[in-house]
A = this chain, B = another copy of it.
Amino acid sequence: MSTLPDSLEKLHGEAWCDVHPVHEDAVHAALMGRASDAHLAHLADTFQMLASPTRLRIVEALRRQELCVCDLSAVVGVSQSAVSHHLRQMRQMRIVRWRKDGRMAYYRLDDEHVAQLFGTGLEHVRE
């Protein structure tokens, strides 16, 4: 097998299989300016939060205005418990923010990026 580029050896510690890159220049270029593992893992978790029709309905509903859990349950058409579970995850992944007002909890999108991801994705799908 041919020698792997140094950056690859450093990257993965050792040859992980007998596959070797065919276009070493292209591989080197692709290795430049990579996001950190932590950022990439976080990004994957973020997209995971958008990878469910139920949660996308929640995002869609929150694009216009903030809503309470009960309203979201009605709009999305799943149980209040299920919505609450989803919202906690979405909160943790910074897809939504919330505020408590008495016994109600009002949710809204975390920032403009979330609405933008939803919009861009929908454009892509509708083509």
Interface pair A70/B124, CB less than 8 Å apart = no
A114 to B127, CA, bound (A): 13
Is the contact region of chain A dominated by helix, strand, or loop, or is it mixed?
A: helix
CB distance from A34 to the nearest CB of B (A): 6
Does chain B have a CB within 8 A of A123? yes
Can you report 23 residue pairs joining A to B where beta carbons are below 8 Å apart? A4-B74, A16-B79, A17-B80, A19-B80, A22-B68, A23-B71, A26-B65, A26-B71, A27-B71, A30-B64, A30-B65, A35-B60, A39-B122, A43-B50, A44-B53, A46-B121, A46-B124, A47-B51, A47-B121, A51-B51, A111-B124, A117-B117, A117-B120
